[in-house]
Structure 1
């Protein structure tokens, strides 16, 4: 997913954010070219020739970052609501039941739920599919623990 950054210093150029996947972070692009970041900061030449510092600020389990240009925050999408964050974070509770294994299963499910809530699906399908991801994470946890227990018991 690529989102255009609306900023007055980039009228004749196209500044956009390519949202990351599960295993890669978001990237900043100028006129279709990936920009390099140094210590988390991109240096971008604006329309007037001035170099601006740009940062991508990530939120917890939200795949769409905020863009910070010279200290000013730009929202690329409507922020998730508090109850959406609560719903997305429910699988993280597996960490209290299952430690590291529960945390991995819950973290993957929460990341998937965050991506679901940023999709174009209806609200009912977002919540329903997110609930299925949570149940799937719990089932995955139980299967993993059972397999590990069985392997350790037989050796």
Structure 2
């Protein structure tokens, strides 16, 4: 999923960041051109500025989001707007599976929570996205309990 944003240091440029849901791989684009990522510590993106120089943008984790914030000159810029507290709480409900299901429940809950956050970022208005989030949460719980029954029968 691609997210569009701007950086105050480079106001004439349009940026997009693409983060893989499954691998977490990040790709940054400036004016639809991919930006090179360094292999040095912190793996900064090397963004060419208007003066022929390079601006280093370090991707920083932004819990609970999968999309990182970018740190430039020790200033952290959020690429995407954080969800309101009630949407964050709703999207993180599947993480409660960690208390009943340990690692397996936590894994299922983490994937469902990340997917819920993507659903809540949908720009379409209405209650439909909330119903989808509740459906994903119920599906995660059903998947965990079905998997628990299968494992219990398999173990004996």
Taking the aligned partners of 1:146 and 1:104, their CA distance within structure 2 comes to 17
- Paired residues, number: 152
Contact persistence 1:5–1:17 (CA under 8 A): no
Contact persistence 1:5–1:15 (CA under 8 A): yes
Secondary structure, counterpart of 2:68 in structure 1: strand
Structure 2 gap segments, 5+ residues each:
none
> Could you say which residue in structure 2 is the equivalent of 1:29?
29
Residue 48 of structure 2: which of 45, 58, 66 is its match? 45
Of Structure 1 and Structure 2, the greater strand share is in 2
Closer/same/farther in 2, CA of residues 89 and 128 from structure 1, 3 Å limit: same
Structure 1 gap segments, 5+ residues each:
none
Of structures 1 and 2, the one with the larger relative CO (CA 8 A, separation 6+) is 1
Secondary structure, counterpart of 1:111 in structure 2: helix
| 1:3-57 deviation digits (Å, cap 9, x = unpaired) | 143434352x544322333323322123412422333312222111222110223
Does 1:55 find its partner at 2:86?
no
Taking the aligned partners of 1:52 and 1:34, their CA distance within structure 2 comes to 11
Q: TM-score, normalization: structure 2? A: 0.83
Shift in Å at residue 79 of structure 1? 2.0
**RMSD between aligned alpha carbons?**
2.1
